Structure 1
């Protein structure tokens, strides 16, 4: 017999935790499922400086604060990996690696993961010098030189963070200018421990059996190839939505992002999506929180509509 809840939230990042707070505070029974620790990518972020109410707060601290709020009105946290969601009209069946859960509403908040370069050496030296998380692994490279690949907010923020730990950071970007916000760029340009290699692609990670020793770099304007010695390679070249479990629902675009309206509704009644898994431009903690609040309130309205329909059906008979 499947466990039953009013609302199942898949993912316990800032959006999912906010949705759990709003839905449970509306007196709905709520299960929040995640395959890892609550907080999502906040746990891999050092200082968060753009979340209202805090001049600066450590990512794990904000994650804990949000989690404490999310379970304050009875929402349950469930550890597990969701493999599929089935739509059965008035109820949805959420399949995990452990069991099945039945819910009137499903809110998808699975987020995204870092895109891989797909080059030789990237997989082989994962955990041996190749990383996607400066906060997690930066301390291993104290007094060493590292490379950051990418030119967006994450890449340049992490380069600045690493500069406070390592001897030197080289940012390699495929274009001739950064895509990061100007304030983030300015901070990096002003740091004498950071320099830049423009119009270039990393084509191979080099190393011995136990550690990274360098990267092969090709200038995409001149085709000139060079080798840059380094102890670490931190890769930030984009995001991929974590939506494999929902592919049979036909709610994603061709790139896998979930499409919703401004009420966070997908094309299937009772299924919502919030946060970094959505098709949108700005993926930030603040936007995920706002979307979580909307989805939690919409979940309440949807469950109420099911109850009203059921009452009307009974009265007709």
Structure 2
């Protein structure tokens, strides 16, 4: 059983930043990432609001961060944490897909995952016209028609990205106005991307691949089928909180981890950072929370060691 001062669960912006700060403090730490990279962060096609980068992508930024982390502590990919058990303050056991760990502290930065539409055809046509990642699959739809479902930042960013790939893009949004930042809305208008308002997708249709979506107008109750080659779904996210639940970490009504201003949870030695804490889901916020969590963990691990 390997023992660490700090185990960081999740290799997204929050977890990687925590790793940088923990490593620079000289902590014996490790990052455990359940995927090969940093999850949904790799899917962000374009970023224009991360300080110091006029334009970048999620993949580019995360790869730079990973290289920086690996100068200080290891990152173990494809190792999912299944369970956390707090034996006593400063003594935490973790069970992963690869083995067992013990740690004096843990930072949970498991993030969130894409919310599903849960409509007929969504699962059947996954990878055959249905996608949750424009960066990953967009080039396959060059010069084809696609719809983007959603109205937040992610949906608008994906629509613009797909439009730049010469896709014929239409947004479908359940409300009569977008939730995206005004700056992105203005860019959307500049690209002249049409929006079908007050409408929801009730089904995704096709034979071997997608060929249309069934749409319901929520105000008029009118139904119609819209021909399309691809469906990109960007309707929000849900917290990846299973491991937090296993430990008895307090969650809010939406399933996000409750923390204080120092990223402490209700359990001593267990912290949380990034999208798993809810609130404003921005990379700069996640990085900030990761830094705070790592610095507080360092101080409290040192204090606990002095007491012992």
Asked if structure 2 preserves the Cα contact closer than 8 Å seen for 1:38 and 1:67, the reply is no
Point out the structure with max Rg over C-alpha: 1
Q: How far did residue 254 of structure 1 move?
A: 2.8
User: Secondary structure of 1:125's partner?
Assistant: coil
Structure 1 Cα separation of the partners of residues 173 and 158 of structure 2: 14
Asked if structure 2 preserves the Cα contact closer than 8 Å seen for 1:276 and 1:283, the reply is yes
Aligned to 2:219: 221
Aligned to 1:267: 266
Aligned to 1:175: 175
User: Secondary structure of 2:128's partner?
Assistant: coil
Question: Is 2:94 aligned against 1:98?
Answer: no
Structure 2 Cα separation of the partners of residues 110 and 129 of structure 1: 28
User: Secondary structure of 2:117's partner?
Assistant: coil
Normalised by the length of structure 2, the TM-score is 0.96
Aligned to 1:309: 307
User: Secondary structure of 2:194's partner?
Assistant: strand
Structure 2 Cα separation of the partners of residues 186 and 173 of structure 1: 17
Q: How far did residue 59 of structure 1 move?
A: 2.3
Structure 2 Cα separation of the partners of residues 250 and 242 of structure 1: 13
Aligned to 2:158: 158
Structure 2 Cα separation of the partners of residues 42 and 244 of structure 1: 19
Asked if structure 2 preserves the Cα contact closer than 8 Å seen for 1:42 and 1:62, the reply is no
User: Secondary structure of 2:232's partner?
Assistant: strand
Aligned to 1:298: 296
Per-residue deviation, residues 210-234 of structure 1 (Å, max 9, x unmatched): 2000000000011110000000000
Aligned to 1:19: 18
Aligned to 2:31: 32
Q: How far did residue 302 of structure 1 move?
A: 1.2
Q: How many residue pairs are counted as aligned between the two chains?
A: 305
Structure 2 Cα separation of the partners of residues 48 and 191 of structure 1: 17
Alignment of 1:175-254 (within 5 A): 175-192=175-192, 194-208=193-207, 210-248=208-246, 249-254=248-253
Q: Structure 2 unaligned runs (5+)?
A: none
Q: How far did residue 51 of structure 1 move?
A: 0.7
Asked if structure 2 preserves the Cα contact closer than 8 Å seen for 1:39 and 1:67, the reply is no
Greater shift, 161-170 or 142-151, is seen at: 161-170
Asked if structure 1 preserves the Cα contact closer than 8 Å seen for 2:46 and 2:161, the reply is no
Normalised by the length of structure 1, the TM-score is 0.94
Aligned to 1:81: 80
Q: How far did residue 132 of structure 1 move?
A: 0.5
Structure 2 Cα separation of the partners of residues 5 and 260 of structure 1: 23
Per-residue deviation, residues 162-197 of structure 1 (Å, max 9, x unmatched): 0011341110000000000001001111213x1110
Q: For the aligned residues, what is the CA RMSD?
A: 1.1
Aligned to 1:65: 64
User: Secondary structure of 1:17's partner?
Assistant: helix
Asked if structure 2 preserves the Cα contact closer than 8 Å seen for 1:10 and 1:16, the reply is yes
User: Secondary structure of 1:147's partner?
Assistant: strand
